[in-house]
Chains A and B, each alone.
Chain A
């Protein structure tokens, strides 16, 4: 009789890059940490991500980009969430994101950015201590 709340996470790949090994590793790690992970697959538009996040009522969105389009797509997702009046979802990013781009992404509302080599436990821990249930 599990009456406890579960952390629901949408793992998404916005944009056109076709590599989701990293996203899958993170999805698996979050699953192993007891979270419910909805994986949407490749080539998502920001609109699709926001729609899925609302329909699935997730607490967290994790996006991975390797193609360099993060400066356009991450803020777009935040903008759409705002337009929908959603302010209770923790949004994090990962992939190949130059350090110089991180401050602007954070200003746009991305809570944290995790680059290659980040220990999985760090991502799990970050979500667990920052998610709003």
Chain B
């Protein structure tokens, strides 16, 4: 299907066209870039909310509950749930949808499962473009659920306006709470499974960690208790997500982040295209293979070979 037709469908909110476009994005099909560039001016309207946290912390259930609360408030929702791919076979078992069944028949909720396809950082390479496509299809809120995150799966911060870090009672001591990485990216902390013993202690530990934060910040991440199974604490969480957006708007941070994001994105795209161009020219040529053999045989070193190859590439581009 030509990109223009697909774009028309996506803008009308047609979910099958949206689903197809996301597949093209995932497969890095040439028409995807085309479609995305046509869609770009229709994006930037959705509030993008990231949900991250360790495996089993209740992210999917939380996302389902947040969605239900937003639906009560007449907001339309898109969800991208990311699960890891196998490092051995590239296959993946995507199981987040199981918890999202209650929204199956709601035409205003679109759920898409996504494999990381080997990408690190908690998201797939295609996630941010998929979010963009959903944004263009007119959804008010787009929720991105990361893979079960360890400590450095922090890519979600580059995609979402508001990041929720979900944690559960009983996992780790107070030193875990002051480590770098995932604990730093939260705009809102959620201690889920609030009925488990130790929930209050967990809240205290996170708050104590926040007390140690010496950065001057206008927004101190609140720590909320939720029980995603019963729905306790969910309306307060959704209120808080809205408050965070208001904060971003009022302080001008939203604009600032937008600029930074556009810069990062442009640079990433250029980097990707340049690298691809470079490797298309090099790979398979006898000179390249020869150089690799020399490096392996210690007759040459990778540092100076890289310098020479890139210099050669730049000259050939100039010509």
Q: Tell me, in angstroms, the Cα distance from A53 to B26 when the chains sit together.
A: 17
Cβ B104 vs Cβ A52 within 8 A: yes
Closest chain A CB from B224 CB (angstroms)? 28
Cβ B101 vs Cβ A37 within 8 A: no
Cβ A56 vs Cβ B115 within 8 A: no
Q: Which residues of B contact A47 (CB under 8 A)?
A: 104-105
Cβ B115 vs Cβ A36 within 8 A: yes
Chain B CB within 10 Å, residue with most, of A3, A28, A48: A3
Is residue B190 contacting chain A, with contact meaning CB distance below 8 A?
A: no
Q: B134-154: which have CB < 8 Å to A?
A: none
Interface of B, secondary structure class, is: mixed
Task: Tally A-B pairs: CB < 8 A.
Answer: 86
Closest chain A CB from B273 CB (angstroms)? 12
The 26 sampled A-B contact pairs (Cβ below 8 Å) are A6-B26, A31-B86, A31-B89, A31-B92, A33-B89, A34-B90, A34-B91, A36-B92, A37-B92, A37-B93, A39-B95, A41-B97, A41-B101, A44-B101, A47-B105, A48-B101, A48-B105, A51-B104, A51-B105, A55-B110, A55-B112, A56-B19, A56-B97, A56-B112, A57-B20, A84-B16
Given pairs A6-B117, A34-B86, A39-B94, 6 additional interface contacts (CB within 8 A): A32-B86, A36-B94, A39-B98, A54-B15, A54-B19, A55-B15
By a beta-carbon cutoff of 8 Å, the part of chain B in contact with chain A is: 15-16, 19-20, 22-23, 26-28, 85-86, 89-95, 97-98, 101, 104-105, 110-113, 115, 117-118, 276
